[in-house]
């Protein structure tokens, strides 16, 4: 095998950094934010870098090599799983922009990871958890080795001193588990106790402590009080299961955090600030500017934002008008017109022409940053079932303690030598291992299975609601349709008003020309033209001379033969055309982009004219999604802000048999809310699938909210479930998986409750020897976990 | 059966030693990215350019 196989699909190099991006990256304040670690006694810094565009583990090696070639970099670690790099560099000899540029040249995207320190802390925490888990698991295995002999042979076949040696071995091996692995349970219980609460950790910690103390007593000669039985095996097994669950949960959480974080990143840029002396000029557009890093921008500053730059802050436009790409915030992929006096938001991109603005909100106050912090806050929230379990644990624990104390007192009168023994066996038998594992293990296994199918579960308790959903509302634009417009056909003067279906082969040359010229422009429609050409494989590189992009008009250039070409709005491209052409082109209203060539004298060549028609396209998976949801017994409905006729046409297109109902067209966000509230008041459980920012309140109202990952960050930060890659079929799959998960939860709860309820009376009566209680405890936990794992093994 | 008097303590010590090794491995990031190490050997130019790093001078 030749090594090149690994790199054949290497992505094309990303565009070079602009001067403003370089200046923004080299801001020392930014570098300081990215520092993860400062090695003692050296001027080197270890910094964090976020990466994207990696598709396999081999990419990380390519990136490592690229970064290592930058002078001044002495160490690189790239983690494919977390899409992060940690770099040891000398700030005196290299700049952040050099590193980012090196990664971009290798064909990937990189950005300074300002949250690197938080990420580093999460990493260290995760490592510690793995370490605790592996200590518990290893000790458990070794204790099992020893106790198996005791189980198989029984006390009579083994000499007493050897029996004791085995118990001692178990005790020594469970010490690391008690002292190190159980740390989180004890500290959680202690924290709760100091605040006067009882947490889910409390019964667990008490159970662990009680089991360990009795077993220790029995091992070291206290048999008269503690009985003869030791439970080091069930103790370590219980701890291993609990830690395993926590580890799985933290991994699932980390995955979600990363996918959301990578949505919210952008390269920082330097800002062109209007210098003080000119700030009060009546005509701001004639003022002079200086380039400053974004960190030294202040409230009230006036800045100039060039075409292709990202707005550095929320603020008002002072002069100029432009088209703004706000897709990050609203999911609306079409550019929005903004003019003097209107607000622009940080994080959106200036596509049209340069504008001047005053800074009104900066950094943490901007809407963009608020979204980012919303996302981060959602990550740290405790799942609802955990809060509920904490509330229920209080009365439960008091009950258990009362039972144990009561039985100890009662047995004082019956047989005082057995009273502690019985109290302990009550504590052991009621230790709610199986109960506390029943729901989380099933929900986690389901979330894991869903993650493999491209579904990220943000709130585990949403799975419960999802299992009962009977109505699913879809947004149309961006949800059932692709987010971007697509070229669906073209017209020429020769074909008249008739729009070709698709892209006819006899016009391929025209079409190639348009795509080649479109590569010179950043406009969303140009990008979509280029994408379509790439997909059908007709895109050819062409060299252009004198390329000019004019805001709101289009792009103009000369090709190698010297002919001048224009691509852009009808008005501009067909400027000075004959009346017949003008009339004809007016009639083809659907054509949004035009292409034409001119002679050197500037007169239009009628034969070179072509117009490109764009339309939204439905996702391939939209139709099967509707029919599968119908099969599952869910009513599907469209809830759209678009015009009635288009929504009805979409419903007919997607469901020939009429399963997809039009709930409401031309709906404002309040109307959507009202529809959802009405359905809920009729007792329906409602799921909403959406993507844009105006879906955010509707998503919050629904019982279960599902967002597509191509949508607005705000919509996603409020959603319970995120569907990756726009794979709509994930929605019915999620409903199915959630239903099965809830079945498993019910089985688990029934089994755990049955076990606890049937064993408590036996233990109270002194009929349950503690070894049997311990075995029962371990087996019931194991049963619950294995039952839950069935969910993960499922593949559709 | 007498051998058990030796083997059990030895196995306990062995487990403690293994735990120490495991602790080093976990905390130095050996389990962070398991896939990539296997692919490293197939990479065409594994040798980074050592010349670009000057020893640190104070």
A130 neighbourhood in chain B, CB within 8 Å: 26, 31
For residue A433, count CB atoms less than 10 angstroms from its CB and return exposed for 0-12, middle for 13-18, buried for 19 or more.
buried
Answer yes or no: is pLDDT of A563 > 60: yes
B20 and A CB contact within 8 Å: no
Residue A711 has pLDDT above 70, yes or no: no
Q: How many CB atoms lie within 10 A of CB B57?
A: 5
Report the alpha-carbon distance of residue A540 to residue A182 in Å, rounded: 63
- A791 neighbors A449 (Cβ within 8 angstroms): yes
* Best residue in A45, A134, A149 for a mutation probing chain B (most B CBs within 10 Å): A134
For residue range B3-13, list pLDDT tens digits in order.
Answer: 889 999 999 99
Would the pLDDT of A311 be above 80?
yes
Pairwise CA distance, residues A658 & A628, whole Å? 14
For A509, residues 6+ apart whose C-beta sits below 8 A from its C-beta are: none
User: Nearest C-alpha of chain A: how many angstroms from B43?
Assistant: 6
Smallest CA–CA separation between B30 and chain A, in Å? 10
C-alpha angle A582-A588-A593 in degrees, rounded to nearest 5: 85
For residue A297, pLDDT beyond 50 = yes
The alpha carbons of chain A give a radius of gyration, in whole angstroms, of: 33
pLDDT higher than 70, residue A72: yes
Mutate to test the interface with B, among A58, A136, A240 (most CBs of B within 10 A): A58
Instruction: For residue A492, give every residue at least 6 positions away whose Cβ sits within 8 Å of its Cβ, in sequence order, or none.
Output: A507, A510, A609, A610, A611
Give the pLDDT band (50/70/90) at residue A1: very low
Return the structure tokens found at A292: 């400053």
pLDDT attached to residue A551: 64
Residue A51 — φ and ψ, nearest 5°? -130, 155
The pLDDT of residue A249: 65
pLDDT value at residue A137: 93
Q: What is the DSSP string of A80-138?
A: TTTTEEEEEE-TTT--HHHHHHHHHHTT-EEEE-TTHHHHHHHHHHHHHHHHHHHHHHH
Q: Is B54 on the interface with A (CB under 8 A)?
A: yes
What does the alpha-carbon distance between residue A13 and residue A213 come to, in Å, rounded to a whole number? 63
- Work out the minimum CA distance from A134 to partner chain B, whole angstroms: 8
Decide if A87 contacts A74 (C-beta within 8 A): no
Of the partner residues A57, A74, A134, the one whose CB lies closest to the CB of residue B36: A57
In whole angstroms, what is the distance from residue A771 CA to residue A585 CA? 89
pLDDT greater at residue A473 or residue A722: A473
Average pLDDT of span A10-36: 74
Mutate to test the interface with A, among B9, B14, B32 (most CBs of A within 10 A): B32
Q: How, if at all, do strands A486-492 and A545-550 pair? A: unpaired
Which pLDDT band holds residue A440 (cuts at 50, 70, 90)? confident
B2 in A contact zone (CB under 8 Å): no
Which residue in A643, A713, A253, A642 sits closest to A699, CA to CA?
Answer: A713
Residues of chain A neighbouring B22 (CB-CB closer than 8 A): 131, 134-135, 138
Given an 8 Å threshold on Cβ–Cβ distance, is B9 in contact with A65? no
pLDDT for the residue A539: 75
Q: Rounded to a whole number, what is the distance in angstroms from the first to the last CA of chain A?
A: 34
Reported as a pLDDT band with limits 50, 70 and 90, residue A310 is: confident
- Residue listed under structure tokens 């089994």: A751
User: Which of the given ranges, A127-141, A206-220, A488-502, A644-658, has the highest pLDDT on average?
Assistant: A127-141
With an 8 Å Cβ cutoff, are B43 and A74 in contact? no
The answer to whether the beta carbons of residues A523 and A643 sit under 8 Å apart is no
d(CA A280, CA A296): 20
Using the Cβ of B23 and the Cβ atoms of chain A, whether some distance falls under 8 Å is answered with yes
Three-state DSSP class for residue A598: strand
Tell me which range, A41-45, A256-260, A628-632, A789-793, is most confidently predicted by mean pLDDT: A628-632
> At residue A172, does pLDDT exceed 50?
yes
* Closest to A716 (Cα-Cα) out of A478, A486, A528, A480: A478
Closest CA to A330 of A715, A25, A762, A624: A715
Specify the pLDDT at position A767.
81
pLDDT of residue A131: 93
Amino acid A4: pLDDT: 34
Residue A303 or A277, more confident: A303
Q: Greater confidence, A416 or A555?
A: A555
The DSSP H or E segment spanning A141 is: helix A116-153
Residue A167 near residue A222, CB atoms below 8 Å? no
Q: What is the spatial distance between Cα A466 and Cα A253, in angstroms, rounded to a whole number?
A: 19
What's the whole-number mean pLDDT along residues A420-429? 72
A432 vs A643, residue with greater confidence: A643
Interface test with B, best of A68, A89, A132 (most B CBs within 10 A): A68
**pLDDT at residue A115, rounded to an integer:** 67
What pLDDT is recorded for position B11?
92
pLDDT of residue A3: 35
Chain B residues close to A73, C-beta within 8 Å: 52-53
Please, which pLDDT band fits residue A781 given cuts at 50, 70 and 90? Answer: confident
With an 8 Å Cβ cutoff, are A57 and B33 in contact? yes
Does the structure show a pLDDT above 90 at A580?
Answer: no
Residue A653 φ/ψ region, left for φ over 0, alpha for ψ in the -120 to 50 degree band, beta for the rest? alpha
**Cα–Cα distances in angstroms (integers) from residue A714 to residues A350, A663, A717, A718, B23, in the given order:** 20, 24, 5, 7, 40
Give the per-residue pLDDT at A182. Answer: 92
Are the C-beta atoms of A333 and A524 separated by less than 8 Å?
yes
pLDDT band at A5 (very low <50, low <70, confident <90, very high): very low
The pLDDT score that the predictor gives to residue A167 is 92
Q: Quick one: which of A411, A383, A398, A397 has its CA closest to A253?
A: A383
Task: Give the separation between CA A262 and CA A105, rounded to whole angstroms.
Answer: 20
pLDDT of residue B56: 47
Helix (H, G, I), strand (E, B) or coil at A544: coil
Q: For chain A, percent helix, then strand, then coil, each to nearest 5?
A: 55, 15, 30
B53 and A73 within 8 Å at the Cβ level: the answer is yes
Please report the pLDDT score of residue A390 as a whole number.
58
Binning pLDDT at 50, 70 and 90, where does residue A364 land? low
CA atoms within 13 A on the CB side of A542: 24
Q: Which structure tokens are listed for A338?
A: 């903004």
- pLDDT higher at A323 or A169: A169
| Out of A60, A69, A162, closest to residue B49 by CB | A69
> In whole angstroms, what is the distance from residue A363 CA to residue A29 CA?
14
Coil, strand or helix: which one is A525? helix
Best CA proximity match to A590, nearest among A497, A709, A693: A497
> What proportion of chain A, given as a percentage, has pLDDT over 90?
7
Residue A788 burial by CB count (10 A; 0-12/13-18/19+): exposed, middle or buried?
buried
Cross-chain Cβ contact B15/A138 below 8 Å: yes
pLDDT value at residue A771: 61
Following CA atoms B30, B31, B33, B37 in sequence, which dihedral angle do they give, to the nearest 10 degrees? 50
> In chain A, pLDDT over 70 holds for what percent of residues?
81
Domains of chain A: 3-114 (3.30.70.100), 271-309+314-361 (2.70.150.10), 455-476+620-736 (3.40.50.1000), 486-615 (3.40.1110.10)
Q: Are A547 and A566 in contact (CB under 8 A)?
A: no
Residue A498 DSSP symbol: P
- Quickly state the pLDDT bin for A790 (edges 50, 70, 90): confident
Beta strands in A559-694 (DSSP E): 564-568, 591-598, 610-615, 635-639, 660-664, 686-690
Best of B1, B23, B52, B57 to mutate (most A CBs within 10 Å, chain A) = B52
Judged by a CB distance cut-off of 8 A, whether residue B31 touches chain A is: yes
How does the average pLDDT of chain A come out, rounded?
78
What's the pLDDT score for residue A165?
Answer: 92
Confidence label for A179 from pLDDT (cuts 50, 70 and 90): very high
Q: Provide the pLDDT confidence category of residue A395 given band limits of 50, 70 and 90.
A: confident
Q: Which sign, positive or negative, has the C-alpha torsion A62, A67, A70, A76?
A: negative
**Which of A6, A82, A139 lies at the smallest CB-CB distance from B42?**
A6
3-state secondary structure of A227: coil
The predicted structure's pLDDT at residue A581? 77
Reply yes or no on whether the pLDDT at B47 is more than 60.
no
Nearest Cα residue in chain A from B16: A173
HSE (side-chain half, CA atoms, 13 Å) at A191: 9
* CA quadruple B7, B12, B14, B15: dihedral sign: positive
**Distance, CA of A6 to CA of A8 (rounded, Å):** 6
Percent helix, percent strand, percent coil in chain B, to nearest 5: 60, 0, 40
* Least confident residue range of A401-415, A588-602, A665-679, A714-728: A714-728
Token readout for A718 is 């409020």
CB contact under 8 A, A69 and B19: no
Q: Give A355 or A643, the one with higher predicted confidence.
A: A355
* Strands A721-723, A704-708: pairing kind: parallel
pLDDT at B57: 43
d(CA A569, CA A591): 9
Pairwise CA distance, residues A494 & A492, whole Å: 5
In this complex, the residue of A43, A127, A166 whose CB is nearest that of residue B26 is: A127
Cβ of A42 within 8 Å of Cβ of B16? The answer is no
Candidate ranges A55-59, A404-408, A506-510, A638-642; pick with highest mean pLDDT: A404-408
Q: Is the pLDDT of residue B14 over 90?
A: yes
pLDDT band at A795 (very low <50, low <70, confident <90, very high): very low
pLDDT tier at A394, thresholds 50, 70, 90: low
- C-beta atoms of A176 and B19 within 8 A: yes
Q: What integer is the mean pLDDT of A45-56?
A: 79
Average pLDDT on A655-679 reads 81
The reported pLDDT for the residue numbered B18 is: 92
């Amino acid at each position: 095998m030749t090594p090149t196989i690994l790199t054949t699909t290497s992505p094309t190099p990303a565009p070079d950094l602009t001067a403003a991006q370089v200046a923004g990256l080299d801001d020392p304040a930014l570098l300081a934010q990215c520092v993860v670690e400062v090695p003692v006694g050296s001027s080197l810094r270890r910094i964090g870098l976020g990466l994207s565009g990696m598709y396999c583990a081999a990419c990380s090696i390519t990136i490592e090599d690229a970064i290592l070639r930058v002078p001044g970099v002495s160490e690189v670690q790239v983690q494919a799983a977390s899409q992060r790099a940690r770099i040891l560099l000398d700030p005196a000899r290299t700049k952040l922009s050099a590193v980012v540029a090196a990664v971009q040249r290798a064909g990937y995207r990189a950005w300074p990871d300002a949250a690197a320190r938080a990420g580093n802390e999460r990493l260290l925490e995760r490592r510690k958890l793995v370490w605790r888990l592996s200590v518990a698991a290893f000790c458990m295995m070794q204790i099992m080795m020893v106790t198996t002999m005791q189980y198989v042979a029984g006390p009579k076949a083994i000499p007493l001193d050897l029996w004791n040696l085995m118990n001692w071995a178990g005790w020594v091996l469970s010490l690391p588990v008690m002292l190190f692995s159980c740390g989180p349970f004890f500290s959680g219980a202690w924290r709760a106790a100091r605040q006067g609460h009882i947490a889910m950790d409390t019964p667990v910690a008490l159970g662990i402590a009680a089991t360990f103390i009795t077993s220790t007593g029995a091992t070291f000669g206290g048999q008269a009080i503690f009985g003869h039985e030791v439970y080091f095996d069930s103790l370590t097994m219980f701890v291993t299961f609990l830690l395993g669950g926590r580890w799985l949960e933290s991994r699932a959480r980390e995955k979600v955090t990363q996918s959301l974080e990578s949505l919210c990143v952008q390269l920082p840029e330097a800002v062109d600030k209007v210098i003080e002396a000119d700030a009060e000029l009546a005509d701001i557009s004639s003022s002079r500017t200086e380039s400053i890093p974004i960190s030294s921008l202040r409230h009230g500053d006036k800045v100039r934002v060039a075409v292709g730059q990202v707005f550095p802050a929320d603020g008002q436009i002072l002069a100029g008008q432009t088209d703004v790409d706000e897709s990050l915030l609203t999911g609306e992929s079409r550019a929005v017109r903004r003019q003097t006096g209107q607000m622009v938001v940080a994080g959106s991109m200036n596509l049209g022409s340069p504008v001047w603005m005053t800074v009104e909100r900066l950094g943490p106050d901007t809407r963009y940053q608020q979204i980012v912090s919303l996302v981060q806050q959602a990550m740290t929230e405790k799942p609802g079932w955990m809060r509920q379990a904490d509330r229920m644990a209080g009365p439960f624990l008091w009950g258990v303690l009362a039972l144990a104390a009561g039985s100890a007192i009662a047995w004082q009168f019956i047989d005082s030598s057995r009273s502690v023994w019985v109290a302990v066996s009550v504590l052991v038998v009621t230790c709610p291992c199986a109960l506390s594992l029943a729901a989380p293990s099933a929900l986690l296994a389901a979330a894991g299975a869903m993650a493999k199918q491209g579904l990220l579960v943000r709130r585990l308790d949403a799975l419960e609601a999802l299992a009962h959903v009977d109505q699913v509302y879809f947004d149309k634009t961006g949800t059932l349709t692709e987010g971007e417009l697509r070229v669906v056909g073209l017209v020429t003067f020769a074909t008249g008003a008739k729009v070709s279906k698709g892209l006819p082969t006899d016009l391929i040359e025209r079409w190639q020309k348009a795509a080649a010229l479109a590569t010179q422009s950043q406009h969303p429609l140009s990008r979509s033209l280029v994408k379509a050409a790439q997909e059908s494989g007709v895109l050819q590189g062409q060299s252009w001379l004198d390329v000019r992009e004019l805001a709101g008009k289009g792009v103009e250039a000369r090709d190698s033969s010297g002919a001048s070409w224009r691509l852009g709005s009808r008005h501009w491209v067909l400027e000075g055309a004959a009346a017949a052409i003008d009339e004809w082109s007016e009639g083809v209203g659907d054509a949004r982009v035009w292409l034409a060539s001119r002679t050197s004298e500037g007169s239009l060549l009628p034969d070179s004219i072509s117009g490109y028609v764009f339309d939204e396209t439905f996702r391939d998976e939209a139709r099967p999604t509707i029919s599968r949801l119908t099969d599952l017994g869910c009513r599907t409905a469209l809830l759209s802000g678009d015009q009635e006729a288009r929504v009805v046409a979409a419903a007919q297109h997607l469901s020939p048999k009429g399963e997809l109902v039009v709930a409401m067209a031309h709906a404002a966000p309040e109307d959507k809310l009202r529809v959802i509230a009405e359905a809920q008041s009729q007792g329906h459980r409602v799921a909403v699938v959406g993507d844009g920012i105006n879906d955010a309140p509707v998503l919050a109202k629904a019982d279960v909210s599902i967002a597509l990952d191509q949508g607005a960050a705000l919509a996603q930060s409020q959603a319970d479930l995120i569907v990756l890659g726009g794979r709509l079929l994930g929605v019915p799959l999620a409903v199915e998986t959630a239903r099965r998960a809830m079945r498993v939860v019910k089985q688990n709860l029934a089994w755990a409750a049955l076990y606890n309820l049937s064993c408590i009376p036996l233990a109270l009566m002194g009929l349950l020897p503690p070894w049997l209680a311990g075995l029962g405890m371990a087996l019931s936990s194991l049963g619950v976990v294995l039952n839950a794992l069935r969910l993960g093994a499922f593949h559709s | 059966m007498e051998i058990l008097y030796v083997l059990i303590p030895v196995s306990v010590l062995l487990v403690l030693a293994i735990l120490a090794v495991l602790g080093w491995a976990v905390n130095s990031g050996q389990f962070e990215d398991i896939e990539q190490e296997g692919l490293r050997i197939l990479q065409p130019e594994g040798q980074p350019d050592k010349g670009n790093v000057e020893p640190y001078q104070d």
